[in-house]
Amino acid sequence: MYAQLVETGVKSIKPRSEMSEQERAFQEKIDSEIKIEAKNWMPDAYRQTLIRQISQHAHSEIVGMLPEGNWVTRAPTLKRKLQLMAKIQDEAGHGLYLYSAMETLGADRDEEIAKLHSGRAKYSSIFNYPTLNWADMGAVGWLVDGAAIVNQVVLQRTSYGPYSRAMVRICKEESFHQRQGYEILLTMMREGNQAQKDMVQDAINRLWWPALMMFGPSDEHSPNSAQSMAWKIKRQSNDELRQRFIDQTIPQLELLGCTCPDPDLTWNAERGHYDFGEIQWDEFYEVLKGNGPCNQERVATRRKAIEDGAWVREAAVAHARKKTNKNAA
């Protein structure tokens, strides 16, 4: 999930009897699966929650360029370099779609980005982990984009129209990247030497748990979920999505011939699901608070990019103004 722990600002769900007429009409629309559009009335808390969620999602796409940017200059073949460049380009595009979707809610892109740079807005915890070998590019594609897809496929049915439509476009491209990521790992495992196979297992060992954390806190510790579900911003719970991800990913892991860094992972025939070990929630909350391995570097890089580029943006504005004046004269 690219948006974790999104505050709704709502302590408990309002019973229908306490809703205003407007609120009731809104909830009825949601219940009958009618998409909410930019010009429709919506509760302020719904608007604010969506702004937080979509901006978090957009920030994740942008910060998510950095762990891959770390290897784009070192990709080992021309084909892999081209794939990675295409992927990074798509991510910038996804960021643009999402900021546009967010702006339909009346939010301002620059203001939301300023919140990211001052540490007031979150992005996915996964991008605070370093990419330490080339196999990380495969593992990020396979596990991280894989987790994002499990989440985003459901978000295609989210109640806010512009967000839902952005998800449809994004999912198509993400699925492509995920297959490419898996193919990077498969090639290294099937045709690679021992050093390459070790890289693959090492990447999985480091990224497995952080990928599971992408789905957010467990349901019992997810106080904002109930409201998000009632508004159909979220369509399935964190734990449901995480379980689905694990169930579909373990066979892929086995096909690679790799192991899972979870000694408690076992198939539970009775449930028809994999049981798995406890996530290190302390780590999750620390990373989300800014104390992960790369939080400082990621935010500093983004802040520097925007600060260093201020004169470029100012020049573009000044030039456009001159041109308009010239045309008017």
Of the residues 33, 191, 270, 282, which one makes contact with another protein according to CB under 8 A:
191
Nearer to another protein, 93 or 161 (CB): 93
Of the residues 19, 171, 250, 306, which one makes contact with another protein according to CB under 8 A:
306
**Interaction pattern, residues 97-136, with another protein; x per rule: CB under 8 A:** --x----------------------------------x--
| Alpha-carbon torsion angle 285, 58, 162, 309, nearest 10 | 150
Q: At its nearest, how many Å lie between another protein and the CB of residue 317?
A: 8
Per rule CB under 8 A, is residue 25 in the interface with another protein? Answer: no
Angle ∠(279,280,285) on CA atoms, nearest 5: 115
Q: Are 66 and 301 in contact (CB under 8 A)?
A: yes
Per rule CB under 8 A, is residue 250 in the interface with another protein? Answer: no
Nearer to another protein, 14 or 303 (CB): 303
Neighbours of 129 (CB within 10 A): 22
Nearer to another protein, 34 or 320 (CB): 320
Q: Hunting for tokens 């769900």 — which residue is that?
A: 13
Q: Hunting for tokens 């490419």 — which residue is that?
A: 180
Rounded CA-CA distance 152/155 in Å is 5
Nearer to another protein, 192 or 223 (CB): 192
Structure tokens at 326: 């010239």
Nearer to another protein, 18 or 308 (CB): 308
Of the residues 104, 164, 175, 187, which one makes contact with another protein according to CB under 8 A:
187
Per rule CB under 8 A, is residue 319 in the interface with another protein? Answer: yes
Q: Are 265 and 277 in contact (CB under 8 A)?
A: yes
Bridge partners (DSSP) listed for residue 160: 36
Nearer to another protein, 269 or 329 (CB): 329
Q: Are 163 and 104 in contact (CB under 8 A)?
A: no
Q: Are 16 and 24 in contact (CB under 8 A)?
A: yes
Number of residues that bind another protein (CB under 8 A): 52
Angle ∠(66,147,290) on CA atoms, nearest 5: 50
Binding site for another protein (CB under 8 A): 62, 65-66, 68-69, 72-82, 85-86, 88-89, 92-93, 95-96, 99, 134, 184, 187-188, 191-193, 195-196, 301-302, 304-306, 308-316, 318-320, 322
